Chains A and B, each alone.
Chain A
Amino acid sequence: MTRLIDPSLQKLSLTMAEMGDMVIECVSLAIASYLEGTDTRTRVHDLSDKITTKYFEVEDLTFDMILRYQPVADDFRLIRSSTEISYAFSRFGRYAYDITQVRTFFGDISECRNDWLYEVTAKVKHMIQDAAQSFAELDIRKAITIQENEEFVDRLYLERIPQLIETNNTKCALAEALLLRYLERIADHAVFMSDAINYIVTGKHKPTKEQIISHRSPSV
């Protein structure tokens, strides 16, 4: 039986899926512009704008649904979290654009790359993919990996910044500082996203590791 709210819910999930795809592409391109030196600025800028537009669409849609249908229970939690998650997506797009700006300011800085930058950017890309997939499937078990990855990013950020102050290569130091800053913010938002997804599935706001592990997969 199709309820009145169902078409709107479908439109919401479609929009979010599109945002997820765009975000993954966007962030990958941004990181490549730093590490490989490719000029991806226009494309990333374009995607980032599109993502922001979709964010406003999602806001409109969710409030419209609340006004018309007064959703409760699962619907309500889904809609409430969607605002948080779409905001996180828009932030990813924005930070991706900021990362390409680094290349714009500094020129080709691919010589500044190093092993741990590869590692941390790979982890961040993973986090975003996990978060988007976790939302699409409403599977909260990925939250553990996301949590662990965020802790890694934080640790690296806290270790590297003092080190950068001591180096002689100002250009690389500044570039890396900016990059790490943006990555740290992306990681934070990914965790917010996974908390919001957890709220949809369990109804609780901040889960513990045990709760995540013991929760059944919602696949039917």
Chain B
Amino acid sequence: MVNQKRAEYRMLFKQNVERRLLVDKIVRSVVVACVIIAIIPLGSILLEVFRNGAAAISIEFLTQLPGAAGATGAEELGGVGHAIQGTLILIGLASLIGVPIGVLSGIFLSEFGDMKLANYVRFYTDVFTEFPSIVIGIFAFLVIVLVLGHFSPLAGAFALSLIMFPVVARTTEESLKLVPLTYREAGLSLGLTKFTITTRIIISAAKSGMITGILLAVSRIGGETAPLIMTILGSSQFFHSFDEPMDALPLRIWRFSLLPYESSVLQGWGSALVLIFVILAINLAVRYYVFGKRINIFGLFAKQRTGKKI
């Protein structure tokens, strides 16, 4: 009697399975299709930039100052050396301000996160993560440019650090939180202070997540244009001093795109390509430096994806 019931029940499953496998296959195809559809535009952007910009790349382009717009000869046309320099300076300065403050805030949020203050900080960082960058630019303009009386790379770095800070703080906090509580307990049981535990044990365990967060922020600010308009203005000279306007790649790209000349458009594409390569180079260099020579190039990409140690 019981065996008959069981056989009946088993019949149920048998019918169910084939349909479910089919549904599974369909959904899987849909998902893959969506991914491909999402990647196509990104891929084609890269392709376009490479296709159009490759022609503009030359030693002069990378190292020279801009010459006359609309000129035809390579020497007369000049390059964007100053913009590359400007971008690097801006990223460096902004990181100098944004990274330490962001990391320390992230540590505060993670290790002392139960306090009311922490909840406020978290709320504000969440709000500021996707804040309109042009508003941040205006703020920097009011606070630094007007006070100093002139455009300055400092204003630009300040604006970019404001954009950088919430991203770094939140990713640092999340990376630290991913480190299991048991390691903190182990440190405590060894008679270590909370400071020692956090700095010597927890941070090195959360290192890859934190680096990913920082590089994310760097890549973001490397491409920001709006805040730069009102803070460094742009120029055709190499960097002289902190009291003068400066140029950066995103700014240059935008300016190129407004000019009617074909050569300018080409140089615009070239600058875009250079910008992409600069960001890529910073990413790889930092990962190589931090994570050592053990890992090959694909390992570095894997780290980027998952943030986990291999």
A and B touching (C-beta < 8 Å)?
Answer: no
User: B residues within 8 Å of A by Cβ?
Assistant: none
